[in-house]
Amino acid sequence: MSFFRSTSLFFCILLFFSCGAFGQTTLKVSKIEVTGNVSAEETGILFNSGLSEGMTLSEDRHEIATAIRNIYSMGFFDDVRIEGEASPSGDLKLRVTVKELPKLDKLVLQGNKKIKKDKLEKAVGLVPGQFISPGREQRAKNQILDLYTKEGYLLTEVSLKLGEATPKGRQPLIAKVDEGPRVQLRGVHFYGNQAVAASKLQKQMKNTKPKGFLRGGDFKEEDFQGDLRKVVDYYRKSGYRDAYVVSDSLYYDATKKDLFIDITVEEGPLYHFGKITWSGNKILDDKEMASLVIAQQGQVYSQEQFDKSREQVQAQYSNIGHIAAQVAPKETVRGDTIDIHFNIEEKDPSKIRMVTIAGNSKTKDRVIRRELVIRPGQTFSRALLERSLRNVNLLNYFNNVEPEVIPNEDLSQIDVTLKVEEKSTGTASVGAGFSGQGGLVGTIGLSIPNFLGNGQLLSFSWEFGTRLSQFQVGFTEPWLFNTPTSLSGSVYRTAQRYLESEFDIQSIGASAQVGRRLRWPDDYSRASIGYGISQTRFVNFTNDSLRVNRPPQLRDNLTSRVSLNFTRDSRDLPQFATTGSVFSSNSMLAGGILGGNINYYRHSLDNSFYFPLFWKVALSFKQQVGLIAGFGGSTSPFNERFTPGGIDMVDGTVLRGYEDRSVGPRDASGLVGGRAMLIYNLEASFPVVKNQVYFIAFADAGNSWEHIGELSLVDLRRSAGFGVRIFAPVVGILGFDFGWGFDRSRVDGQPVQMITHFQFGPQQF
């Protein structure tokens, strides 16, 4: 292209020197003619050239050279020429002759097998109809080669050529790809390392590993450069502050299929921390500064500890509102010792000017704002902002909640914007299924956790089947009169077949509950009090002896009860939690002055703890204790006793590896149920797809006993297994667990075997 440009300009100048009119010092352009253009508009060519009829050319005629460069810069032409014919009167006629570049019909890929056509086309970015210059062809070739290089095909070759023109005059660009073999990394060799073994350095290069028996061997330039930085970071973390990579070289064997890498490092001296001092701190006293600075005098120098110390001090100032505070560390080298001094300018605290909610198309602002603990006019606090994010996340209405902190110029005031991404919260279901408790079951359900965007919960469900029929309607207002007071109510009717002794349990009832968020012991806590009334009947006995000699726990009853609940929930997420805990205490008293024909009390205590283990694995530990007893001459009813085994969505008990409601004492009639219960659950989970698909491994242990005094920490039924949790936007949590009960012979006389459990609905904590 540069050759054509210089040639055209040369001919142009030669032409003007050959004109008789060149004796004149100035020439006036009387007419301009454009030829050779097919697709490009004449007006566009003239506009970009800068030439116009009526203009007068200067003595050096530089306008002509400028016009040629301008027309070339349009990117449409392979050649540009300007010729002129002057008259004795000084008028000049110009002819602009252009030769257009070929137009692209399509990109034709040949020989690509390892990388799909769509991916290559996207990388190249050519559009049908655009002009194709030699430079654009070269860029397309480089883009294809770069993509193959990133995928580890370092020996790929690409050749480009234009194909025959179509009837419309466009030409295909044919890219022939010779992929070659994928280069396998066979060895990484370190030179210059004396203090650190090559094996330790290789461990830092997690993405650049020589081919081994099971894995490794792939090479990607981007990963390699990242791994080199990790090698340097490891040195600086280990005290070698001046370490750096001197050089790295890649070479192949004779077949060009095996790749080898030589890396030369300069380690430098080993440093230790010297004196650690600070100045300028008035709000944070020396004791608090000492707790934030983890670098300690005499320890081996660590860049990681140095950076973390600075970050923790900066974060603490931000947490108390001084986001403009400057923490400027200074390192002073004394031989192999480095003194650290933190010079601090605390600045004035920043106030929150505005808090804005963005992205909520359904949920009303007030539903989000009432969960926030940050307010306009407050001194900004990073801890309060994070707490606000947690509260909004726990609503479970959003896929993502991101804060944006926007300070003004002097940082005295800041604006906070909460950007939320709403998700589908309502679930409607019509279907059928099978469970150990309900047999073949059909379901019709509706659950709207964010009813009309007001944060209210409206639910309706109807299950009907061979062993189970259940109808329930419920409503919850979490913020009654715009205060942190909840009001909920439900009515239900159930009928379930108890197979072991062949009778039906029929219940009908209603309940109401009032709850309140607490400030003590902290605002993670809430308490509620509720009242419920229900009627339970035991009918349709097929066992005549059981029907005639009905035990006291199977007596039809009218239950009037009051319940008191206290819950403290500090989890980071409502599902798939990784940190925090849940403590829940629920006490219920039935009968006595409340009326009804049965008297009993029931207590349950649940504790759950969540914490990260390693990588992305989270561990949870749960303990459940339950007690029930009658009083005033009554015995505890059968349907309220503890019957662990499987997954009970009503009681929230989980003891996998055993049949549903099979663990516990059995009386002479074969009825299962205890007055005391103890269950432990240990579960490790890690995300296959974050917030959507999780794999779990678990170990459970639990039992129930006839008498409260028999409760034991060692007389437990044990199990272990694995499972998967899937979050489906329409149906909620789907869980499949596969458990082996190690004490099946003591429960139902069966050998150890795998039992599959299905979980549907909210995750139990």
Same domain for 294 and 339: yes
| Domain count for the chain | 6
Residue 563, strand partner residues: 530, 588
Q: Is 196 within 8 Å of 268 (Cβ atoms)?
A: no
Hey, what long-range contacts does 142-146 have (CB within 8 A, 24 or more apart)?
Answer: 144/120, 144/175, 144/177
Domain end point (choices 52, 73, 100) = 100
Same domain for 739 and 686: yes
Sign for the CA dihedral angle at 647, 653, 656, 657 comes to negative
Q: What is the 3-state secondary structure (H, E, C) of 460-495?
A: EEEEEECCEEEEEEEEEECCHHHCCEEEEEEEEEEE
Tokens (6 digits) for 727: 């979050």
Q: Is 568 within 8 Å of 522 (Cβ atoms)?
A: yes
For residues 110 and 176, what is the distance between their CA atoms, to the nearest angstrom? Answer: 5
Strand duo 398-407 + 413-422: pairing: antiparallel
For residues 271 and 299, what is the distance between their CA atoms, to the nearest angstrom? Answer: 9
Domain end point (choices 83, 100, 117) = 100
Same domain for 108 and 224: no
User: Helix, strand or coil for residue 751?
Assistant: coil
Laid out side by side, the sheet with 77-86 consists of 56-57, 27-35, 91-100, 77-86
Same domain for 355 and 329: no
Burial profile 612-637: b = 16 or more Cβ within 10 angstroms, e = fewer: eeeeeebebebebebbbbbeeebbbb
Largest CA distance in the chain: 134
| Strand ranges, E, within 218-316 | 244-252, 258-266, 272-279
Question: At 159, which CATH number?
Answer: 3.10.20.310
708 contacts: CB under 8 Å, gap ≥ 6:
627, 629, 675, 676
Same domain for 382 and 452: no
Which has the closest alpha carbon to 100: 118, 80, 119?
Answer: 80
720 contacts: CB under 8 Å, gap ≥ 6:
657, 697, 698, 699, 700, 739, 740, 742
Domain end point (choices 294, 317, 345) = 345
Burial profile 128-160: b = 16 or more Cβ within 10 angstroms, e = fewer: eeebbbeebbeebbebbbebbbbbbbbbbebeb
Q: Is 669 within 8 Å of 501 (Cβ atoms)?
A: yes
Same domain for 133 and 52: no
- Residue 548 region, left (φ>0) first, then alpha (ψ -120 to 50), else beta? alpha
For residues 555 and 562, what is the distance between their CA atoms, to the nearest angstrom? Answer: 21
Same domain for 396 and 313: no
Q: Please give the full DSSP string across 655-714, using - where no structure is assigned.
A: ETTS-TT--S-B-TT--B-BSEEEEEEEEEEEEEETTTEEEEEEEEEEEEESSGGG--SS
For residues 577 and 566, what is the distance between their CA atoms, to the nearest angstrom? Answer: 20
Sign for the CA dihedral angle at 659, 663, 667, 668 comes to positive
514 contacts: CB under 8 Å, gap ≥ 6:
485, 486, 487, 528, 529, 530
The DSSP code for 151 is T
Average pLDDT per block of 10 residues along the chain, 765 residues long = 37 41 66 88 88 85 89 88 83 89 90 88 87 88 87 85 87 90 87 94 90 70 91 95 94 83 95 95 92 93 94 90 90 94 92 92 92 91 90 88 85 89 69 50 74 88 76 93 93 81 85 93 91 91 76 85 96 87 96 92 96 91 95 87 85 89 80 90 92 92 93 94 83 83 92 86 49
745 contacts: CB under 8 Å, gap ≥ 6:
751, 752
Same domain for 604 and 490: yes
pLDDT value for 760: 64
Same domain for 623 and 483: yes
pLDDT value for 623: 96
Question: At 606, which CATH number?
Answer: 2.40.160.50
Kindly report the number of other CB atoms within 10 A of residue 433's CB atom: 14
Q: Is 83 within 8 Å of 15 (Cβ atoms)?
A: yes
Helices (H), 98-237: 117-124, 134-150, 198-204, 221-237
Q: Is 710 within 8 Å of 729 (Cβ atoms)?
A: no
For residues 192 and 264, what is the distance between their CA atoms, to the nearest angstrom? Answer: 6
Same domain for 609 and 524: yes
Range of the domain at 414: 351-422
For residues 473 and 639, what is the distance between their CA atoms, to the nearest angstrom? Answer: 21
| Orientation of helix 303-319 relative to helix 221-237, angle to 10° | 90
Same domain for 363 and 294: no
Length of the chain: 765
Instruction: Please tell me the pTM assigned to this model.
Output: 0.62
Same domain for 471 and 382: no
